[in-house]
Structure 1
Amino acid sequence: MQVCAAPPFVRESAVSCDARWRPHDLLRLQRLPAFDGEPAWVRDAFARAPCAVVRRALAAREYVAIGLRGARRSQRYGTWAASADILDAVAPEALARGQPLARRGALPAFIALAALQQNARSPLHEFVWGPTGSAGFELATKVETVTESSDLDLLIRMPNRLTREFAASLLDHLQTLARETGIRVDAQLETPEGGVALVEWAAGKSRVMARHARGPQLIVDPWADASCLR
């Protein structure tokens, strides 16, 4: 997030993440607390779509770290919601078969998503996955967020080890789709140690960046105690 509100709790109490809400889940909120330094666009954006995405940060037990998006790419705001104000949540995988409004289906990000949905032989279908970013937000809220240049961002649940070879095959499949649609298709693996970019794991690096509520960290194995998949 380019701007982030100070936490409404003492840092020493930020010791947990509520397991009910996972990073990239889209939350519908009945209220958004205001904090000092809030960007001017936030209230209009929340009125248009009272939703926020769970971000990776430790919080006090009664709070959850969230991110809001405005109408422009530069409008991103990290803030906090009270757990009691969450009405419901939509996980990315619940949007894997989502359809945009008919007039929006010709946008490249939605063309790429439709190609993934319709390709029964795609290696992606061996996993639990779903769209995040602007495509996921628009599918969940029906608020027009995707543009002609928007990426297609994907989250792939990966509780078990993914071999480098299969990761490379999956990356090649997504990069081919990206070339065909003229946009970036970025996938993040949700591992036991946090979010890891598919492109990093497929590259065979000795250490990869894992994004965790405790902060980003370079690690050797995101599945140190997990069984092997493929």
Structure 2
Amino acid sequence: MPVCAAPPFAADHARSCDARWRAHDLLRLRRLPYFDGEPDWVRAAFERAPYVVVRRALTADGFLAVGLRGAQRSHRYGTWVKTDDVDDAVTPEALCGREPPATRAGLPAFKALAALQRDWSQARTATENALVWGPTGSTGFELATQVSAVSASSDLDLLIRTPAKLPLEHAAHLLTQLQTIAAEAGVRIDAQLETPAGGVALAEWAANKPRVMARHARGPQLIADPWASAHEMR
């Protein structure tokens, strides 16, 4: 089964990304175009929740690269939509203050999110400027759509916006705080820094590796500094 639909445009037309939406934004669509060979669960999933998540890929003008989520962990599919079909958008940071229904709040991912919402001022590092953050993955999807997506084994995925360089000592402090919250809630927290060069795992940056993996629309690349090396990804 293909994991991504073939793009509906010539490869040499894939030159940019629409700046109105960023990776991990959730989009509510008016319609979802059909692509040959799509998995049989796609239509039911879209009817259940007409939302897709923006993924990192270059596109032609008027198109967006998106992903769909089904009821099972294995149900993930990349496809393409027209920008004219976007009805609304929800960013991860818009979800950081939302709460699940009381009947769902006991799930480990939601317990960790609640603790993080309470303690973020301490967990965010000792920098003077607050870090903008929000949940992604199944937690973000459920908070945005009100459709059950989180299970007892779900991780808590986070996006942390870092347009300015996050010092290594602050990254290490933040990682320690997140690991403490994760241990108390009995869940794994996967935090990603959104840098000018793309998405970088907080754990990788905090580990002071010579190079880290930056995930960009042009493709992943190992770089020493996701802030200083941003121009290489443009």
TM-score by length of 2: 0.94
**Alignment match, 1:192:** 196
The change in CA–CA distance for 1:120 and 1:184 in structure 2 (over 3 A counts) is: closer
Query: Residue 162 of structure 1: SS of its match in structure 2?
Result: coil
8 Å Cα contact 2:123-2:178 kept in structure 1: no
**Alignment match, 1:163:** 167
Letter in 2 for 1:4: C
Q: In the TM superposition, what is the alpha-carbon distance from 1:120 to its structure 2 partner?
A: 5.2
Q: Deviations over 1:96-119 (max 9, x none)?
A: 101111211111100000001112
8 Å Cα contact 2:197-2:229 kept in structure 1: no
Residue 218 of structure 1 pairs with residue 213 of structure 2: no
Q: Structure 2: how far apart are the matches of 1:120 and 1:13? A: 42
Runs of 5+ unmatched residues, structure 2: none
8 Å Cα contact 2:17-2:57 kept in structure 1: yes
**Alignment match, 1:91:** 91
Letter in 1 for 2:204: E
Question: What percentage of residue pairs aligned between the two structures are identical?
Answer: 67
Q: Structure 1: how far apart are the matches of 2:19 and 2:146? A: 27
Residue 3 of structure 1 pairs with residue 3 of structure 2: yes
Residue 105 of structure 1 pairs with residue 105 of structure 2: yes
Q: Structure 2: how far apart are the matches of 1:135 and 1:120? A: 17
**Alignment match, 1:176:** 180
The change in CA–CA distance for 1:67 and 1:144 in structure 2 (over 3 A counts) is: same
The change in CA–CA distance for 1:225 and 1:37 in structure 2 (over 3 A counts) is: closer
Q: Deviations over 1:192-219 (max 9, x none)?
A: 0000000000000010000000011101
**Alignment match, 2:18:** 18
8 Å Cα contact 2:62-2:82 kept in structure 1: yes
RMSD over aligned Cα atoms: 1.3
Q: In the TM superposition, what is the alpha-carbon distance from 1:179 to its structure 2 partner?
A: 1.1
Q: How does 1:45-60 map to 2 (within 5 A)?
A: 45-60=45-60
**Alignment match, 1:36:** 36
Query: Residue 19 of structure 1: SS of its match in structure 2?
Result: coil
- Which runs of structure 1 show a deviation greater than 3 angstroms over 4 or more consecutive aligned residues? none
Q: Structure 1: how far apart are the matches of 2:121 and 2:140? A: 23
Q: Deviations over 1:76-128 (max 9, x none)?
A: 00000100000010000000101111211111100000001112542328200
**Alignment match, 2:210:** 206
Q: Deviations over 1:99-158 (max 9, x none)?
A: 111211111100000001112542328200000000000000000000001000000000
Q: In the TM superposition, what is the alpha-carbon distance from 1:181 to its structure 2 partner?
A: 1.2
8 Å Cα contact 2:192-2:202 kept in structure 1: yes
8 Å Cα contact 2:64-2:80 kept in structure 1: yes
8 Å Cα contact 1:155-1:187 kept in structure 2: yes
Q: Structure 1: how far apart are the matches of 2:229 and 2:202? A: 19
Q: Structure 1: how far apart are the matches of 2:170 and 2:69? A: 34
Runs of 5+ unmatched residues, structure 1: none
Q: How does 1:74-89 map to 2 (within 5 A)?
A: 74-89=74-89
8 Å Cα contact 1:25-1:90 kept in structure 2: yes
Q: Structure 2: how far apart are the matches of 1:161 and 1:120? A: 19
Q: Structure 1: how far apart are the matches of 2:229 and 2:9? A: 34
